[in-house]
Amino acid sequence: MARHLRRLSAWSLALGIACGAAAAFGAPRDTPTPDSGVTDLPLSDGDVQRVLYLSPAQPVAALVMFTGGDGVLSIQGNGAIRRDGNFLIRTRQDWVKRGFAVAIPDVPSDRSNLLGYRLRSSYGEIIRRIVAFVRSRTSAPIWLVGTSAGSPAAAAGAARLTHAEVAGAVLTSSVSRPARIVSETVFGADLDRIDVPVLIVSHRGDRCGSTPPSDDERIRSALTKSPKVEIVLIDGGLPPKSNECEAFSEHGYYGVETETVDRIAAWIKAQP
């Protein structure tokens, strides 16, 4: 029990530092440059949702990617990402090379972070706006993909949107148990409303207290309307160089990024 609390404390400390960084950085206010792939989607009251969109010539699918932690990426107007260590974000070009378009949203301009916000209906409407933007760029199937604390956002989006809007969801290193800072879990995302295929991915060695691979079966059982649910477990990798709830550990598929991307990509491509 003490060891478990130390893990959560370490993650909470890291997130606390991240929140301070988020407040310091704020949402980017620079103007997107031509051909950067960066778009500022207008929201209410003059706020914007910044999205980085990268795509091959003919994408097989488009992936809206939800990062973990506090959600802050600090996407710059030229397409650079200041905080790009997250598994999905650091592999963004790997997805493009495999034929996928990727849409990466930052924190909306009126917020300093996404903690406690990902399951709100207002954020669900922002996800709908992002999906509509992606649809304006491609006719390919759109998937919502989340990792760690981003998994509740992907799940909630799939629960709120129609089958015509999104083709499926991928939940990686899913937060299934609340921590002091990250309180939202996939079980708060109306999993029983999701009616599209769902892939659940975990690293078998993930030691983060909020994302135990043993909870994957509980997640699958809750997806009662999904026509297809599968679980993929990843093994191996490099020795961690971050704590167990951060990106450069088994939690973030450190050292097995290629295998993880390949297995997710193959599963999505195999769906009708």
Q: Could you tell me which of 56, 80, 59, 85 has the C-alpha nearest to residue 70? A: 85
Nearest to 79 by CA among 89, 71, 88, 66: 89
Q: What is the mean pLDDT of each run of 10 residues along the chain (272 residues)?
A: 38 38 49 96 93 98 97 97 97 98 97 97 97 98 98 98 95 94 93 98 98 98 98 98 96 98 98 94
> Angle at CA 81, nearest 5°, toward 264 and 157?
50
Contact assessment for residue 63 and residue 51, using Cβ atoms and an 8 Å cutoff:
no
DSSP code per residue over 9-33: HHHHHHHHHHHHHHHHH-S--SPPP
Q: Of 105, 115, 66, which Cα lies nearest the Cα of 87?
A: 66
How, if at all, do strands 38-42 and 142-147 pair? unpaired
Q: Domain extents for the chain? A: 2-269
Residue-level pLDDT at 153: 98
pLDDT for the residue 23 = 37
Model-level pTM? 0.90
Residue type, 195: D
Rounded Cα distance, 172 and 161, in Å: 20
Give the pLDDT of residue 163: 86
214 CB-contact burial (10 Å; exposed 0-12 / middle 13-18 / buried 19+) = exposed
Helices (H) and strands (E) in the chain, counts: 7, 8
Please state the φ and ψ torsions of residue 169, each to the nearest 5 degrees: -140, 150
Q: What is the pLDDT of residue 182?
A: 83
Ramachandran bin of 173, using left for φ above 0, alpha for ψ from -120 to 50, beta for the remaining angles = left
**Which pLDDT belongs to residue 79?**
97
Strand partners, 202: 233
Q: What homologous superfamily is domain 2-269 in, according to CATH? A: Alpha/Beta hydrolase fold, catalytic domain (3.40.50.1820)
The C-alpha atoms of residue 133 and residue 102 are separated, in whole angstroms, by 12
